[in-house]
Amino acid sequence: MTIGHEGTAAHLGITKTKDALFKTFYWPNCFSDIENFVKTCDKCQRVGKPQDKKKAPLKIVLVITEIFTKINIDASGPLPKTPSGNRYIITALCMSSKYPDAIPVANLCSTTIVNTLLQIFSRMGFPRELQTDQGTSFMSALTTEFLEKFGVKVVRSSVYHPQSNPVERMHRTLKTILRVLYLEALPDWDKILPQALFALRTVIQDSTGFSPAELVHGKNLRTPVMLLYEKLTEEDPVENSVVEYVFERINRMKNVKNWLSRI
């Protein structure tokens, strides 16, 4: 339970801890054991993190079947300054796969924004549409010219309703994760940011039924829970030819895409 909740699991609550463990493990009274373990987690209690929030009412949303064509981006901070000089986080979220990315920066000047967007696009590709808030850094002439040059349509979130940008919600989750991991003797939040992203990328999303990593890569990333299972079972990995692997991934991604289109 420790591996499924702490460390790279990032203390994401009862439901996510169950999701992580039940992929490979089961034991008598496991439901109540996990609930009690998470509810009594010292670090979660000290941060004041709710174990599980009530689910929002279901509503119809537009389905985006191609990943990384629509990306939400935002900035969070100022945060405590790290020894590296970073005080802000620029966060991106793929609206189709819910795959997150986050880069620590020292400031929010236009040059920093453009350079960070280049880093994000080098991983996600150039989107067709980018949603952001009304922040001056994202509305500067330099940023606007950069996005127009690559044919990226910019959609602004309402200045009165910033919650319409789902990255705002991810920022809240990310900040909570960073606070919890900080209690695990990791003082620099910019250095533990990759660990927080790993947790967000490998947990199952309620809206899709898959983890972001699974939708992007065609398979989930190997987590400490999976490593423990492999060690206990001593299973050897199945080796396929390159052609077999490619066709297996293509078929899997087609099935996932068809399933998502019916949500």
User: pLDDT digit string (tens) for 63-81?
Assistant: 556 889 999 998 888 888 8
Query: CA–CA separation, 91 vs 52, rounded Å?
Result: 23
> CA nearest 193: which of 174, 169, 206?
174
Model pLDDT for residues 9-56, shown as the tens digit of each residue: 556 677 767 666 666 666 677 777 777 777 777 666 666 554 445 454
pLDDT of residue 139: 84
User: At residue 234, what is the residue type?
Assistant: E
17-21, 133-137, 169-173, 198-202: range with highest mean pLDDT = 198-202
CA separation, residue 6 to residues 2, 43, 180 (Å): 6, 9, 9
Helix (H) or strand (E) holding 88: strand 88-94
pLDDT at 159 over 60: no
Alpha-carbon span 37 to 17, nearest angstrom: 10
Predicted confidence at residue 41, as pLDDT, reads 74
- 29-38, 42-51, 108-117, 206-215: the lowest-pLDDT one: 42-51
pTM listed for this prediction: 0.67
Q: Quick check: bond before 50 cis, omega within 30?
A: no
Mean pLDDT, range 201-225, rounded to an integer: 81
pLDDT confidence of 61, banded at 50, 70, 90? very low
Other C-beta atoms closer than 10 Å to the C-beta of 225 total 22
Q: In what order do the strands lie in the sheet with 100-105?
A: 100-105, 88-94, 70-76, 129-132, 153-156
Average pLDDT of the chain, as a whole number: 76
With contact defined as beta carbons under 8 Å apart, do 200 and 86 qualify?
no
Residue 97 has φ and ψ, to the nearest 5°, of -95, -10
Rounded-to-integer distance, Cα 141 and Cα 110, Å: 8
Residues 6+ apart with CB under 8 A from 86: 79, 104, 105, 106, 190
The reported pLDDT for the residue numbered 100 is: 93
Of 151-155, 234-238, 259-263, minimum mean pLDDT range = 259-263
